[in-house]
Amino acid sequence: MPKYIYVDLKSASGCVNVIAVVKFFDKPKKTKGSGYSLFLSVTDPSLCGDKMSCIIFHDSEENLPQIRTPGDIIIMHRLVVKQYNGRNQGCGYGTTGFSAAVFSGVPSDPLTPFNSPTQCSFGEKEVEVVKNLKKWYTSPDCPVEKENLSVRNTSTHSGQLGGIYRPGVRRIRSLKADEFCTIEGQVISIYKSTETDRTLVIYIWDGAVLPGEQNTVFMGPSEKRLCEMLPHSQHDPQLAALTGHNLQHWNENEIVHQKKYSLITPQDLKYSKHCRGSSIDFTDWSVPVAIYDEHVVSEPVKNLKPGDLIRIHNVHVISGQSKHDDPCSLRLILHGGKAREYGREVKYLGDSCLLINHLNDSSNASEDTEQLPNEANRYGLLDNLKAGLELRPPLLHPQPDFLLPYELQQPLTIYQIYNLPLIVEKKERELQTWDLLFPLTTQILPSVPPSSWLVVDNLPRSASNLNVVCTRLCARIIDVAPLSVQALKDCLWLTCKKCSISQRSSCISNIDIGICDCGSRLTFLPFLFLHIEDLSGTMIITVSGQDVINLLTDLSDSALMPFIHSSTWWTGLIFELSELKNMRVSPEEVILDRYHNLLGKWIDVAVRVSWPKETVSSDFVNRNDLQIDLIGWDSV
């Protein structure tokens, strides 16, 4: 038996012998003459996920290579490789001695070729190459996009369903460039420009980003493109705040400046030993996936909403091509065209209730959906999401046993809150004129749901000239004031509940002035200003009184709880009592450390939005007229 010399596909030129994996093949066709032709594409590791097209000619259909399914391994002798339109293409002619042997690509099938009337000589060396190609093609690291094997219901020579091993779901942060894979996650945001646009960008997350995985940046549309798509987008504000999802320029800032969203960098901060969870984590856990063509109009994608759990088959991972040339940037794409053949699809796994039930260790699914939790957690998605939620808990969130009003079930974005005055006053005008036959419509996009706020009626006389509503807000804290001792004292007031007077503590120099003229002791009233951000914009909200203490409580260990809830401790901050210093407890240090520790955290809170009456036009809101105050859930 003659010994053959083989070349890899990348080096193939002229008349060569090759051993390769069949990536695609078509049905044999009758030529214009008396013969038949077979078109196929082949690949091997040298092509790094690419393919080479081949066409085989023979006098009869039976003499063509007996390929049964993509993934089969083919040995080809005397294949003529030439350049065609800048790419290599192979041609095999039965009349000039071309021969082939085809092996099953199923790992468990024996290393024997399919029956064929033609003869192709091979030995142990060739069989070893076939074995290695099987292992390579079925490994998770293989960069080749694989055809959907369930489409071709072809039996192998052993009588089993033809196909190859399909790898399981991959964690997003483990992906590498130039590969096709299956991923899954929870939908955070859905961006589209118009209803007819066949391009969609969804942002998903599949759990926490581990410390060793933070170097990879997943690139999405440009900031300009995302802004164009924002009016027609859908978001889950809670997931956006949790994951740190924002416009693309935040990701690019991470690459250029190696800093996170806040103007205050981690190097500027110092932490006390009393701080709990003091590490600042602004890492964006959201990952964009671009979806094209027929997938956009498919039923699972058309009905998709933020919070849903999905699995995406055959996502293409490519180099990010960042303008900063970052070597660790990637893009995820679900291509259109031949979706059925290549198994490209978005599979719906369930809504956010599955995750809520999983968090509560309950199973309230109906009979129709009882299999969904098992499928959604088949590769550990629910477990990974749960771990991520536990790693980034919100501050001041409503307790599970707290019965939320219907109007506060879903939070609004910052952009929607800024436009609340337009919606509220338009609704009032419609009610006053009995114009109830027409729905509540505005030019605001995304629109504000009509039942997403509570009107506050029981206002004091001093606020009779204000419109006041309550709504829910989820956002990331990007800056805090005060952050110095002097500013801290400027934001701490002493009040007399009996006389309704207030004094700034920085203006008080004598402890005896801690007594009001009426004889009552002044009580402390701390103020805190949070600069917050979500995917739609930024906002400054005011926190005061007990809500400041609640924030500090969330960030303190049990040893400091008695101090934070003690009037004497706060008075010590004002008058710098030596007794507290002797106890080695510096109030200003503890408070400022906790204020620093707010950076990067996210909040799930109720806010009170107020603005002067008769200051809102029909199409414009002056944001300077708005006052946004955080209020405790027990005050709703």
- Residue 516 is predicted with a pLDDT of 74
Higher-confidence residue: 275 or 227? 227
Please tell me which of 61-75, 151-165, 244-258 the model is most confident about, judged by mean pLDDT: 61-75
- Residue 126 is predicted with a pLDDT of 95
Q: Per-residue confidence at 273, pLDDT binned at 50, 70, 90?
A: very low
pLDDT(194) > 80: no
Q: Distances from the Cα of 52 to the Cαs of 27, 43, 103, 276, 582, in angstroms?
A: 18, 6, 19, 58, 79
Residue 559: which residues within 8 A CB-CB, separation 6 or more?
Answer: 274
* Strand 234-235, strand 329-334: pairing: unpaired
Q: For the ranges 47-56, 194-203, 269-278, 433-442, which has the lowest average pLDDT?
A: 269-278
Q: Mind listing the pLDDT tens digit for each residue in 282-331?
A: 678 999 999 988 888 888 998 999 999 999 998 989 887 654 445 578 99
Give the pLDDT mean for 587-599: 80
- Residue 225 is predicted with a pLDDT of 79
Q: Give the tokens for residue 222.
A: 């440009």
Rounded to the nearest angstrom, the gap between the alpha carbon of residue 103 and the centroid of all alpha carbons in its chain is 42
- Residue 80 is predicted with a pLDDT of 96
Cα separation, 632 vs 396, whole angstroms: 8
SS3 sequence of 216-273: CEECCCCHHHHHHHHHHCEECHHHHHHHCCCCHHHHHHHHHHCCCCCCCCHHHCCCCC
List of domains in the chain: 14-137 (2.40.50.140), 172-258+281-391 (2.40.50.140), 406-492+523-565+586-635 (no CATH)
- Residue 510 is predicted with a pLDDT of 57
Q: Report the mean per-residue pLDDT for the chain.
A: 79
Q: For the ranges 483-487, 489-493, 506-510, which has the lowest average pLDDT?
A: 506-510
CB 534 within 8 A of CB 618: no
Please tell me which of 135-139, 158-162, 333-337, 490-494 the model is most confident about, judged by mean pLDDT: 135-139
Q: Per-residue confidence at 267, pLDDT binned at 50, 70, 90?
A: very low
Give the pLDDT mean for 333-340: 78
Cα separation, 24 vs 69, whole angstroms: 8
pLDDT(581) > 70: no
Q: Give the tokens for residue 108.
A: 């468990």
Q: For the ranges 64-68, 105-109, 360-364, 406-410, which has the lowest average pLDDT?
A: 360-364
CB 72 within 8 A of CB 113: no
Please tell me which of 34-43, 245-254, 316-325, 401-410 the model is most confident about, judged by mean pLDDT: 34-43
Residues in the chain: 636
Phi/psi for 74 (5° steps) reads -125, 135
- Residue 565 is predicted with a pLDDT of 73
Higher-confidence residue: 567 or 161? 567
* Strand 309-319, strand 602-612: pairing: unpaired
Q: Per-residue confidence at 369, pLDDT binned at 50, 70, 90?
A: very low
Q: Give the tokens for residue 387.
A: 């771990």
Containing 372, the helix (H) or strand (E) segment is: helix 372-376
Give the pLDDT mean for 110-129: 93
pLDDT(234) > 70: yes
CB 113 within 8 A of CB 305: no
Higher-confidence residue: 164 or 454? 454
Higher-confidence residue: 50 or 447? 50
- Residue 578 is predicted with a pLDDT of 44
CB 409 within 8 A of CB 455: no
- Residue 52 is predicted with a pLDDT of 92
Cα separation, 112 vs 66, whole angstroms: 13
Q: Per-residue confidence at 129, pLDDT binned at 50, 70, 90?
A: very high
- Residue 195 is predicted with a pLDDT of 57
Q: Per-residue confidence at 399, pLDDT binned at 50, 70, 90?
A: confident
pLDDT > 90 fraction of the chain, expressed in percent and rounded = 32
- Residue 372 is predicted with a pLDDT of 58
- Residue 512 is predicted with a pLDDT of 53
Q: What pTM value is reported for the model?
A: 0.70
- Residue 53 is predicted with a pLDDT of 92
Please tell me which of 31-40, 247-256, 338-347 the model is most confident about, judged by mean pLDDT: 31-40
Q: Mind listing the pLDDT tens digit for each residue in 338-350?
A: 666 677 889 999 9
pLDDT(116) > 50: yes
Task: Convert 183-208 to b/e letters by CB count within 10 Å (16 or more is b).
Answer: bbbbbbbbbbbeeeeebbbbbbbbbb
Higher-confidence residue: 29 or 441? 29
Residue 92 β-bridge partners: 56
Residue 38 β-bridge partners: 56
Q: For the chain, how are helix, strand and coil distributed in percent, rounded to 5?
A: 30, 30, 45
Measuring CA to CA, which residue among 183, 145, 168 is closest to residue 332? 183
pLDDT(432) > 70: no
pLDDT(152) > 50: no
- Residue 384 is predicted with a pLDDT of 93
Give the pLDDT mean for 225-243: 86
Higher-confidence residue: 242 or 440? 242
Cα separation, 82 vs 237, whole angstroms: 56
- Residue 236 is predicted with a pLDDT of 93
pLDDT(222) > 90: no
Give the pLDDT mean for 350-368: 71
Higher-confidence residue: 477 or 263? 477
Give the pLDDT mean for 460-474: 88
Cα separation, 284 vs 392, whole angstroms: 12
- Residue 216 is predicted with a pLDDT of 81
CA dihedral 67, 71, 75, 78 (to 10 degrees): 80
How many C-beta atoms surround the C-beta of residue 455 within 10 A?
Answer: 12
pLDDT(568) > 70: no
Please tell me which of 329-338, 343-352, 482-491 the model is most confident about, judged by mean pLDDT: 343-352
Q: Give the tokens for residue 187.
A: 């939908």
Cα separation, 23 vs 52, whole angstroms: 9
Cα separation, 410 vs 152, whole angstroms: 45
Q: Per-residue confidence at 585, pLDDT binned at 50, 70, 90?
A: low
Cα separation, 168 vs 170, whole angstroms: 6
Alpha helix ranges (H) inside 433-566: 485-490, 546-554, 561-564
- Residue 255 is predicted with a pLDDT of 33
Q: Please state whether 85 falls in left (phi above 0), alpha (psi between -120 and 50) or beta.
A: left
- Residue 559 is predicted with a pLDDT of 66
